[in-house]
Amino acid sequence: MTAKSMMPYVQGNSAIRAMFEEGARLAAIYGKENVYDFSLGNPNVAAPPEVNKAIMDIVEQEDSLRIHGYNQSNSGYEDVRQTVAEHLNKLHGTAFNSHNIIMTVGAASGLNVAMKTMLDPGEEVLAFAPYFVEYGNYAKNHGATLKAVPANVDGSGSDSGIPFQPDLHTMSEMIGPKTRAIIINSPNNPTGVIYSQETIRKLAEILEEKQTEFGTEIYIISDEPYRELAYDGVQVPYVTKYYNNTVVAYSWSKSLSLPGERIGYLVLPSEMADFENAVQAANIANRVLGYVNAPTLMQLVVARCVDCPANVEAYNKNRKALYEGLTDMGYECIYPQGAFYMWMKVPGGGEDKAFCAKAKEHNILLVPGSSFACPGYVRIAYCVAYETIVNSMPSFRQLMKEVKGEK
């Protein structure tokens, strides 16, 4: 019989499956071009040509045993890890080497490896709402519990007064002796907010104080699959430079549009507590969680493409068209600084799930904010074709009319 512990996931999953099925059903009836599917964070921008060229070159030029074999170290190829380390050093002025890098199966496995390395059962992880829903499941995988710091919807929880910057005052009050990690995600899914240098500084300061108060280690797990997707020159601070007990989880799923290739890395800085044991534990965690090593061909590909820029302009064009279109109609949106998500208030103060159901009647597929522990909002993933945004505008307009009772 299926494990009882899995049944809540099975029930939860049927909602996601229903959304997929609904998209396919609507496309079959109205035509794909008349369904505005903003539900998934699956990039519509093609991977850059350098990626395909690298694959071909590697297959032609390199030893087949190296391309397709197990890695000697579960952490990945030494030369690939050194290339990643040098790339980061060039960008951020850090001093990493191959020893600080562990190649992972996307950010998802990186986060699980990080949590297995740092969490004991019964410990707690904090995350700032709204947050990527899998964080709670990942914490549970390791016997830990995720506690949500309430969303800073009006900015009153942060010194800057900017909405959806993390509420550090409440976080500080929520930290206790069992708190082992804080997950941050900037640029953020689902709000598009980038955490400022001031925020990261203040966060580091509070965590240092709390470590001293409780005599424990409290780690920052910085989940960064959207690092390169930052607009208007906004800087994304490199967190290891502000706080020693930081682990970075990166992935090329979004920046190079490779989500199906499952490739990323973890950074464990030498300054973190108990570094040598942590590196060994992460290496073993990679193995015992069943990843063994990150896909070897893809490790070699990303090493060749490490300087390849993300196509930020394509998303920027979508961002502007969507924001201008929706705000003109009276929708209230957070102007995204990064990633490819628009975070929109449900008009008329309505309920998010009901609003998503109403949007679906207009062939618009959105994700309710309650899926990110923040009801009253919806997420619009604009990693879609530009035409999808342009063509969806009349439907969004009609939806607004209905909400206002003008129909």
**Least spacing, CB of residue 31 vs ligand PLP, in Å:** 27
**Binders of ligand PLP: how many residues, by CB under 6 A?**
13
**Least spacing, CB of residue 228 vs ligand PLP, in Å:** 13
- Per the CB < 8 A criterion, the answer to whether 399 and 364 are in contact is yes
Per-residue contact flags (x/-) with ligand PLP for residues 31 to 70, judged by CB under 6 A: ----------x-----------------------------
Per-residue contact flags (x/-) with ligand PLP for residues 225 to 244, judged by CB under 6 A: x-------------------
**Least spacing, CB of residue 185 vs ligand PLP, in Å:** 5
Pick one of 130, 259, 338, 369: the residue that binds ligand PLP (CB under 6 A). 259
**Least spacing, CB of residue 223 vs ligand PLP, in Å:** 5
Nearest-angstrom CA–CA distance, 92 and 199: 18
Closest-CA residue to 243 (of 208, 278, 277): 208
Interface with ligand PLP includes 107 (CB under 6 A)?
yes
Interface with ligand PLP includes 106 (CB under 6 A)?
yes
What proportions of the chain, in percent to the nearest 5, are helix, strand and coil? 45, 15, 40
What Rg, from alpha-carbon coordinates, does the chain have? 21
Pick one of 189, 311, 318, 337: the residue that binds ligand PLP (CB under 6 A). 189
- Per the CB < 8 A criterion, the answer to whether 94 and 332 are in contact is no
**Least spacing, CB of residue 404 vs ligand PLP, in Å:** 32
Interface with ligand PLP includes 264 (CB under 6 A)?
yes
Looking at the Cβ atoms of 98 and 253, the one nearer to ligand PLP is 253
**In Å, what is the CA distance from 329 to each residue of 271, 307, 389, 397?**
50, 40, 14, 6
**Least spacing, CB of residue 109 vs ligand PLP, in Å:** 7
For residue 151, the number of C-alpha atoms closer than 13 Å in the C-beta half-sphere is 21
**In Å, what is the CA distance from 125 to each residue of 115, 277, 329, 370?**
9, 21, 39, 19
Contacts of 258 (CB under 8 A, 6+ apart): 47, 51, 252, 298
Per-residue contact flags (x/-) with ligand PLP for residues 66 to 105, judged by CB under 6 A: ----------------------------------------
Pick one of 123, 223, 228, 261: the residue that binds ligand PLP (CB under 6 A). 223
Per-residue H/E/C for 12-46 = HHHHHHHHHHHHHHHHHHHCHHHCEECCCCCCCCC
- Decide the pairing of beta strands 179-185 and 124-128: parallel
Give contact residues for ligand PLP (rule: CB under 6 A). 41, 106-108, 132, 185, 189, 223, 225, 251, 253, 259, 264
